[in-house]
Amino acid sequence: MAARLPGVKAVASVRDLTRAFGERVVLDALDLEIGSGEFIALLGRSGSGKSTLLRALAGLDREVSGELSVTDSVAVAFQEPRLVPWKRVLANITLGLDGPAERAHAALAEVGLTERAQAWPLTLSGGEAQRASLARALVREPDLLLLDEPFSALDALTRITIHQLVVELWTRHRPAVLLVTHDVDEALLLADRVLVLDEGRIAHDSPVTAPRPRHRDNPELITLRADLLTALGVAPEGRS
Ligand SMILES: Nc1ncnc2c1ncn2[C@@H]1O[C@H](COP(=O)(O)OP(=O)(O)OP(=O)(O)O)[C@@H](O)[C@H]1O
């Protein structure tokens, strides 16, 4: 585990986190600390337990054991935007929220969806629905934003636009972000720290220091990509 920077407050601290489904131990005495404002990408093979860890951090899984200390201010966005179909976009953003409607309007403006505030979710494109889902998370002004493969169903161009948006929003609001992804390049382009989950633990933990906007041919990213592919058990010359 990477040492925490002195003076950086943790928004999540997990020690000995264990979760089994029957005989299958998915998280095995896992340790992890997430510092305030960090942008972390979490990689791991399919079934390695990434979503299980995210659900534990979100407080959605009460069956975990170990020490888990997480800020109260957590928001989650999932792979499917999970908008309520019978509520308009704006109402989806404010659902379960006591705050003023201006905040919801501001969040929609931040993701570029002001024009779609009164639209029904089913009329949104995939990228718009994912932006609405981000607005719903942002309006809660989280200290920790958990993103479970939110870009994986989007086409390549929409994905690039949303990547830029997420970096912009993170730069402006500075929540800590934990992004679950299968995509090594996405992890390297977005995050300041990349983790690999394997055999129930954090098997690899690298900082990414290249300045943004990042390019795939940055030498630091090329080296890290090879290390990460090896950690994931994929030959570096193969595809992630
Ligand atoms: N509710 C559940 N009941 C039984 N097994 C489960 C449950 N949730 C997850 N698992 C098992 O735990 C393991 C880890 O699942 P998890 O969804 O966390 O993996 P993941 O790394 O997110 O996978 P993927 O990348 O494919 O989304 C898998 O073997 C899965 O079948």
What pLDDT is stored for residue 236 in this prediction? 61
Is 92 inside any structural domain?
A: no
Cα distance between residue 125 and residue 153, in whole Å: 11
Measured between alpha carbons, how far is residue 15 from residues 12, 27, 76, 131 in Å? 10, 11, 21, 33
Q: Is the pLDDT of residue 226 over 60?
A: yes
Q: Of all atoms in ligand 1, which is nearest to the CA of residue 149? A: 27
Please report, for the domain that includes residue 222, its CATH number: 3.40.50.300
**Going along the chain, which residue ranges are E strands?**
10-21, 24-35, 39-44, 65-70, 74-77, 144-148, 176-180, 193-198, 201-207
- CA 150 to ligand 1 center in whole angstroms: 17
Is 117 inside any structural domain?
A: no
Nearest CA to ligand 1 atom 9: 52
What pLDDT is stored for residue 12 in this prediction? 97
Instruction: For a ligand 1 pocket test, name from 51, 54, 182, 232 the mutation site with the most ligand atoms within 8 angstroms of its C-beta.
Output: 51
Q: What is the mean pLDDT of residues 152-177?
A: 89
> Which of these, 49, 10, 13, lies nearest to 28 by C-alpha position?
49
Is 143 inside any structural domain?
A: no
Is 32 inside any structural domain?
A: yes
Q: Which range (51-55, 95-99, 104-108, 162-166) has the least confidence?
A: 95-99
What pLDDT is stored for residue 157 in this prediction? 86
> Which of these, 55, 89, 92, 101, lies nearest to 74 by C-alpha position?
55
- CA 51 to ligand 1 center in whole angstroms: 7
Residue-wise pLDDT for 116-138, tens only, equals 999 999 999 988 999 999 999 98
Is 220 inside any structural domain?
A: yes
Range of 201's domain? 1-71+190-235
Q: Please state the ipTM of this predicted complex.
A: 0.97
Residue-wise pLDDT for 39-82, tens only, equals 999 999 999 999 999 999 999 999 999 999 999 999 999 888 88
Q: Is the pLDDT of residue 95 over 90?
A: no
Phi then psi dihedrals of residue 148, to 5 deg: -100, 95
Confidence class for position 9, pLDDT limits 50, 70, 90: confident
Q: Are 179 and 191 in contact (CB under 8 A)?
A: yes
Residue-wise pLDDT for 11-30, tens only, equals 999 999 999 999 999 999 99
Nearest CA to ligand 1 atom 2: 21
Phi then psi dihedrals of residue 79, to 5 deg: -60, -45
Element (H, E) at 101: helix 101-110
Cα distance between residue 173 and residue 61, in whole Å: 27
Cα distance between residue 181 and residue 150, in whole Å: 8
Q: What is the mean pLDDT of residues 156-173?
A: 89
What pLDDT is stored for residue 156 in this prediction? 86
Q: Is the pLDDT of residue 238 over 60?
A: no
- Ligand 1 site residues, Cβ closer than 6 angstroms: 21, 24, 26, 44, 46-52
Number of domains, the chain: 1
Cα distance between residue 50 and residue 44, in whole Å: 7
Instruction: For a ligand 1 pocket test, name from 17, 21, 24, 180 the mutation site with the most ligand atoms within 8 angstroms of its C-beta.
Output: 21
- CA 96 to ligand 1 center in whole angstroms: 28
